[in-house]
Amino acid sequence: MSQKTEKIIIQLKYRDIEQQFSAEPQDAWLLLAKFFNGVVPSFEIAQNLLLNVDLERLAKDIVGIVAFSSEGPNLLVPKNILTDNEVLLLSLVTHYLGRKLGLVNCDSRSKEELQAKLGKSGKSTSTRLGELIKNELVTKDHDGRFRITTFGIVQVQKEVIPKIKAKTSR
């Protein structure tokens, strides 16, 4: 009469990865080793490749450039020293941050709202927004509203904010 081998049930959770398996003891050990040798390093590598927004850093980066009041986000630097794209990107990144911090209700802006912020014609605003969309810094949703992409936020932090700070420190 053969004796049935008991199975081991293993449930693993590492950050956002969950895995469960049931196997005989010798196989369970191999599956566990495979998880630690394969999944965990791959997950660590993947995490390093993901674009993430550090809200605390973003908030610190824009201090002195924009501020929130009871009326909403305000540009603190003179518009005449900024390019049209810088004004549009700052407006969108400020709404993104404001939404995340609970200071504004929506992280997207209509073309008309952006046009008013920019102070230019509808055609100029559309042209600039088209450029930003083409460069994957901004996206347009199904309601025709615009929002900054994660890539756009990273680019604003790496390139736009330092340029603005250099312009205002002169």
Examine the domain organization and report whether 71 and 143 are in the same domain.
Answer: yes
Look at residue 2 and tell me if it is in a domain. Answer: no
- Better-predicted residue by pLDDT, 78 or 44: 78
Cross-strand bridge partners of residue 63: 66
Burial 92-103 (b: 16+ CB within 10 A, else e): bbbbbbbeeeee
Give the pLDDT mean for 51-68: 91
Q: What is the pLDDT of residues 86-129, one digit of tens each?
A: 999 999 999 999 999 999 999 999 999 999 999 999 999 999 99
Q: What is the pLDDT of residues 16-56, one digit of tens each?
A: 778 888 888 777 877 877 777 777 666 666 667 777 888 89
Q: What is the pLDDT of residues 117-160, one digit of tens each?
A: 999 999 999 999 999 999 999 999 999 999 999 999 999 999 99
Residue 150's CATH number: 1.10.10.10
Look at residue 1 and tell me if it is in a domain. Answer: no
Per the document, the length of the chain is 170
Q: Whose structure tokens read 């998880």?
A: 35
Give the pTM. Answer: 0.73
- Can you give the residue range of the structural domain that contains 99? 55-168
Query: What is the spatial distance between Cα 2 and Cα 169, in angstroms, rounded to a whole number?
Result: 83
Residue 2: its pLDDT value, please? 56
For 56-117, where are the E strands, in sequence order? 66-69, 72-75
